[in-house]
Structure 1
Amino acid sequence: MEKVRLDPNQLPPMPVALAGTMVEGRVNFMAAGWITRLGFKPPLIGVSINHRQWTGSGIQETGAFSLCFPGPALVEKTDYCGLVSGRNADKSALFDVFYGETPGAPMIRECPLCLEMRLYQTVELPSNRFFIGEIKAAWADGDILADGQVDMEKFQPLLLTMPDNRYWTLGRPVADAWSVGKALKKEKHHESVGH
């Protein structure tokens, strides 16, 4: 198939979260989609937030934040939190807010999965700040777990695609990671040993 050159702002699907922190003494949440895992030990995750966003100043002020991952039932409230600034509206009033062990990291009880973090590092980018957080605790609804782990089919996390700006959920699993390629690895190893 022939490749077609596109505008460089084509992005793979991204998880959607409600980033929470305290800003000027008030609980605030914003919709965030530019999120990625960065490390295993310590467990690090990063979120990119535009310089204009009120939430970013709160993360800098408190050194703490949360990422609360909504399911499809919260899509309207999630989108609202991306449309309205916490400077002008109390978005925390939409949710049942709870706290774990990290002061300054409010979380949303209605979100099936919540991570509380201490700020590990901030990277200044031209239009955004990339906040890297060390995950201090994870909180999940019991009904999305299987064998003590989050079951993605039960959870159905929201995903964001750009530039079409649409919310999605996951489809069916395709294969097991670090497993499906083992037969090919073995085959290629035998080929290289045989030569």
Structure 2
Amino acid sequence: MRKPYGPALYFYPLPVIVVGAHVKGKPTFTTIAWGTPIEDEPPLVLLAVAKEHYIVSERESLEFFSVNFPSQEQVAAVDYCGIISGFEKDKSSVFPVERGKHGAPLVADAPLSLECRVREIRDIGESCWLVIGEVVETYIDEGCIVNGKPDVSRMKTMAYITKSSEYRALGEVVAKAREIGKSFQGRQKQ
């Protein structure tokens, strides 16, 4: 039996994302969990970034940014970028940095990075900015490509569980999408 638990956001899992951008001419990074793809063609992402984050302090001049999916081995640096503000500390050297084709700072040793062009930054009047980015290039660690396709199990990315403040590993494959449903026979009436 289920019981009401009150209004709360229990979305599981949330991807752990490290956003990279240039602020005051230097690369900086911040960790967020509120990000999602919103369109395939063109490929668009949506990030909810708290207004107090240093990374959006120069949003008027923000043209390109990166969405990096770090590996489990990077968890301490990832957490550091989420709990330390760029207003307090220079985070330009937390990760090895490389520049994308359009100049966005990328986490060089992240298994997956997306370089994005800002499409829109929307003030929703609450505590965050909604940042819509168009993916202009994708960078994947060669060791994470199998048969010409990205293999997420080799990336060892993480999920964030908000209510318990935990980073979690992604689990095993449960079923093949767009196939398992073909065998569904419907619920049996009782």
Aligned partner of 1:158 in structure 2 is: 158
Q: 5-14 or 115-124: which moved more?
A: 5-14
Aligned partner of 1:112 in structure 2 is: 111
Cα drift, residue 59 of structure 1: 4.3
Q: Deviations over 1:86-105 (max 9, x none)?
A: 122221212211112113x1
Aligned partner of 1:123 in structure 2 is: 122
Separation of aligned partners in 1, 2:52 and 2:39: 27
Within-5 A mapping of 1:53-68: 53-68=53-68
Within-5 A mapping of 1:159-174: 159-174=159-174
Separation of aligned partners in 1, 2:183 and 2:166: 37
> Is the CA contact (8 Å cut-off) linking 1:21 and 1:58 kept in structure 2?
no
Q: Partner letter of residue 124 of structure 1?
A: D
Aligned partner of 1:100 in structure 2 is: 100
Would the alpha carbon gap of residues 10 and 145 (structure 1) be closer, same or farther in structure 2, given more than 3 Å must change?
Answer: same
Q: Between Structure 1 and Structure 2, how many residues are aligned?
A: 185
**C-alpha RMSD of matched pairs (Å):** 1.5
The runs of 4+ residues in structure 1 deviating greater than 3 Å are none
Separation of aligned partners in 1, 2:91 and 2:61: 19
Gaps of 5+ in 2: none
Gaps of 5+ in 1: 189-195
Query: 3-state DSSP class of the match of 2:93?
Result: helix
Cα drift, residue 170 of structure 1: 0.5
TM-score of the pair, normalised by structure 1: 0.89
Separation of aligned partners in 1, 2:3 and 2:122: 34
Cα drift, residue 11 of structure 1: 2.7
Name the one with the larger helix percent.
1
Larger C-alpha radius of gyration, 1 or 2? 1
> Is the CA contact (8 Å cut-off) linking 1:37 and 1:46 kept in structure 2?
yes
TM-score of the pair, normalised by structure 2: 0.91
> Is the CA contact (8 Å cut-off) linking 2:77 and 2:95 kept in structure 1?
no
Q: Deviations over 1:2-58 (max 9, x none)?
A: 333244132321001110000111111001110101000000011110111111134
Query: 3-state DSSP class of the match of 1:181?
Result: helix
Query: 3-state DSSP class of the match of 2:129?
Result: strand
Separation of aligned partners in 2, 1:137 and 1:152: 18
